[in-house]
């Protein structure tokens, strides 16, 4: 299924009121709802209780190094492109306690260890690029010989309500990466939001049996031919208005052949090694382990926390860091993301969400860097 192709048949339609009921039913079934909401001048993912928490009528403009909320002047609930939060923290948590112990009588007692049971999670409004990113992280954390128990505990019971993007953000390039804008995998229900003189409604693509069951409980109508056409037009328009492009033909070979390209010096002069790009990236998965004690020295704990290949410590082996310069760290990040990731996991490590472009304080643009690497090197 192509992520730019028309919606599959048959489709069903739910009104805005029935969409509100959908969220209620998921809550009644014990799901904790996580969805988009406005906080601190951005649309972020957080716990929501219903439709009133969604960013109604809020859109945004984003470009390299800039992000601004804007009023859309309508009642759209999902009329924005991806914000700073992916769904990564929902499954690959920023910090995970591994164990905690208390000193006692010259020895110690382990207070807790191992993965904790997690409540079932319903993701509301997940976009296609992010569903591809979740599939990539599933492969990393669950697809190998060793399964990450903390990730598995969070991921196990998930219900996904995807939303097909109604507009492309200024830094989006999912069409280049083959990951959007239409959701084709990893969802229980996928909605296309329509808002016109025929009313506010959602065209629903069913992705799983649990999705079909929930939809049957809230009730849905057969989609009219006019609405199918309108929903397909929304997706086609989004695909045509990508903010960026990044041709991927031969990209692995380009990166592998660019080890000595002078562009690395150029980008290193601008990069602050702030780690933002890796923290907002929905596929980056590096972590480190820290040991902590309380001030009295009575309680000790080991915690896993997100790390970034832009830090000096990330590549520290005995005697020093392998990637001591920003140049080598940026080259390592981009080469892994777009080349060695393919050898390692069978897909690109980039889904074209554009977050690393928007949230880079130095306005570095991955698509521009790749275009520069493709150009013949001038030394
Ligand atoms: S590329 Fe940008 S976001 Fe990434 S580390 Fe460098 S300055 Fe920070
Ligand atoms: S590398 Fe940038 S554009 Fe690609 S998935 Fe990560 S944050 Fe998104």
pLDDT tens profile 67-109: 999 999 999 999 999 999 999 999 999 999 999 999 988 898 8
Tell me: pLDDT of 125 over 60. Answer: yes
Q: Which of 98, 186, 115 shows the shortest CA–CA distance to 153?
A: 115
> Which tokens in the block code for residue 77?
């609930």
Report the pLDDT value the prediction gives residue 139, as an integer from 0 to 100.
95
What pLDDT shows up at residue 69?
A: 98
Q: How far is the CA of 150 from the centre of ligand 1 (A)?
A: 28
Count CA atoms closer than 13 A to 123's CA, side-chain side: 29
CA 153 from chain centre, in angstroms, equals: 19
Per-residue pLDDT, 95: 95
- Residue with more model confidence, 115 or 294: 294
d(C-alpha 265, C-alpha 258), whole Å: 12
> Is residue 378 over pLDDT 60?
no
Please give the share of the chain, as a percent, with pLDDT higher than 70.
98
Cβ-in-10-Å burial (0-12, 13-18, 19+) of 149 comes to middle
| Mean pLDDT, rounded, for 252-281 | 97
The CA 172 to ligand 2 mean position distance, Å, reads 9
The CB of 282 under 6 Å from ligand 2? The reply is yes
Encode burial over 270-300: b for 16+ CB neighbours within 10 A, e otherwise. Answer: ebebebbbbbbbbbbbebeeeeeeeeeeeeb
Can you tell me whether residue 305 is helix, strand or coil?
Answer: strand
The pLDDT assigned to 104 comes to 87
Q: Which ligand is nearest to the CA of 88?
A: 2
Name the residue at shortest CA distance from atom 5 of ligand 1.
Answer: 273
| 277 Cβ below 6 A of ligand 1 | yes
Answer whether 27's CB lies under 8 Å from 33's CB.
yes
Ligand 2 centre distance from Cα of residue 119 (Å): 29
Greater confidence, 8 or 26? 26
Average pLDDT over residues 301-312: 95
Mutation pick for ligand 1 pocket among 310, 327, 331 (CB with most ligand atoms within 8 Å): 310
User: Given a cut of 90, is residue 2 above it in pLDDT?
Assistant: no
Indicate the top mutation candidate among 65, 264, 268, 272 to test ligand 1's pocket, ranked by most ligand atoms within 8 A of CB. Answer: 272
Q: Report pLDDT for 276.
A: 98
Does residue 281 have its Cβ closer than 6 Å to ligand 2?
yes
**Backbone dihedral angles phi then psi of residue 174, each to the nearest 5 degrees:** -65, -30
CB 357 within 8 A of CB 246: no
Q: Is 360 in the pocket of ligand 1 (CB under 6 A)?
A: yes
Kindly list the distances between the CA atom of residue 363 and the CA atoms of 11, 243, 282, in Å, as whole numbers in the listed order: 41, 15, 19
* Mean pLDDT computed over 38-57: 97
Q: Which of 128, 135, 354 to mutate to test the pocket of ligand 2 (most atoms within 8 A of CB)?
A: 354
Rounded to two decimals, the pTM is 0.95
Which residues are within 8 A (CB) of 25 and not within 5 positions of it... i.e. 6 or more apart?
214, 217, 218
Please say whether the beta carbons of 7 and 203 come within 8 A: yes
Binding site membership of 132 for ligand 2 (Cβ less than 6 Å): no
Give the pLDDT band of residue 322 (cuts 50, 70, 90). confident
Pair type for strands 199-206 and 12-15: antiparallel
Pocket test for ligand 1, best of 362, 369, 370 (most atoms within 8 A of CB): 362
Distance CA 306, CA 359 (A): 17
Residue 114's pLDDT band (cuts 50, 70, 90):
confident
Length of the chain as a residue count: 379
Q: Given a cut of 80, is residue 156 above it in pLDDT?
A: yes
CA of 58 to the centre of ligand 1 (A): 28
Show the beta-strand stretches assigned E in the chain.
12-15, 32-39, 42-47, 58-63, 66-71, 95-104, 107-113, 121-126, 158-163, 189-196, 199-206, 221-222, 287-293, 299-306, 316-317, 320-321
- Residue of the CA atom closest to atom 4 of ligand 2: 350
Ligand 2: does its nearest atom lie under 6 Å from the Cβ of 337? yes
> Which value, to the nearest 10 degrees, does the dihedral of the CA atoms of residues 33, 239, 65, 61 take?
-70
Q: Which helix (H) or strand (E) holds 270?
A: helix 263-270
Find out whether the beta carbon of 362 lies less than 6 Å from any atom of ligand 1.
Answer: yes
Question: Average model confidence (pLDDT) for the chain?
Answer: 94
| Ligand 2 pocket, residue 283 CB under 6 Å | yes
Residue 346: count other Cβ atoms within 10 Å of its Cβ: 10
- Whether the per-residue pLDDT at 50 is higher than 70: the answer is yes
Instruction: Tell me if 370 CB under 6 Å of ligand 2.
Output: no
Exposure on the CB side of residue 220, measured as CA atoms within 13 A: 26
Question: Which phi and psi (to 5°) does residue 234 adopt?
Answer: -60, -45
281 within ligand 1 shell (Cβ under 6 A)? no
Residue range 215-229: mean pLDDT, rounded? 95
Closest-approaching ligand to the CA atom of 280: 2
């Amino acid at each position: 299924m192509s992520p730019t192709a028309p919606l599959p048949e048959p489709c069903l339609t739910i009104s805005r009121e029935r969409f509100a009921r959908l969220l209620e039913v998921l809550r009644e079934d014990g799901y904790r709802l996580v969805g988009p909401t406005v906080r601190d001048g951005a649309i972020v993912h957080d716990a929501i209780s219903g439709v009133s928490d969604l960013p109604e009528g809020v859109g945004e403009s984003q470009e390299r190094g800039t992000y601004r909320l804007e009023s859309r002047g309508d009642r759209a609930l999902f009329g924005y492109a991806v914000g700073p939060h992916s769904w990564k923290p929902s499954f690959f948590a920023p910090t995970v306690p591994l164990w905690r112990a208390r000193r006692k009588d010259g020895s110690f007692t382990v207070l807790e260890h191992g993965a904790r049971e997690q409540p079932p999670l319903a993701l509301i409004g997940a976009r296609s690029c992010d569903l591809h990113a979740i599939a990539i992280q599933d492969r990393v954390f669950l697809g190998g010989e060793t399964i990450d128990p903390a990730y598995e505990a969070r991921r196990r019971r998930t219900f996904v309500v995807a939303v097909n993007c109604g507009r492309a953000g200024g830094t989006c390039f999912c069409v280049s990466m083959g990951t959007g804008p239409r959701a084709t995998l990893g969802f229980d229900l996928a909605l296309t939001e329509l808002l016109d003189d025929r009313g506010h409604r959602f065209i629903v693509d069913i992705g799983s049996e649990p999705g079909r069951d929930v939809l049957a409980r809230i009730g849905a109508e057969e989609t009219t031919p006019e609405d199918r056409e309108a929903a397909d037009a929304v997706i086609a328009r989004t695909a045509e208005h990508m903010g960026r492009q990044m041709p991927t033909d031969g990209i692995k070979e380009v990166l592998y052949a660019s080890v000595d390209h002078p562009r690395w010096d150029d980008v290193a002069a601008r990069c602050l090694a702030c780690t933002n790009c890796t923290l907002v990236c929905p596929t980056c998965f590096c972590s480190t382990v820290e040991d902590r004690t309380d001030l009295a020295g009575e309680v000790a704990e080991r915690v896993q926390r997100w790390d970034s290949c832009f830090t000096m410590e990330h590549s520290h082996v005995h005697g020093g860091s392998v990637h001591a310069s920003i140049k080598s760290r940026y080259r390592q990040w981009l080469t892994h993301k777009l080349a060695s990731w393919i050898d390692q996991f069978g897909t690109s490590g980039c889904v074209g969400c554009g977050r690393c472009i928007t949230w880079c304080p130095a306005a570095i643009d991955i698509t521009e860097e790749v275009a520069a690497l493709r150009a013949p090197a001038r030394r």
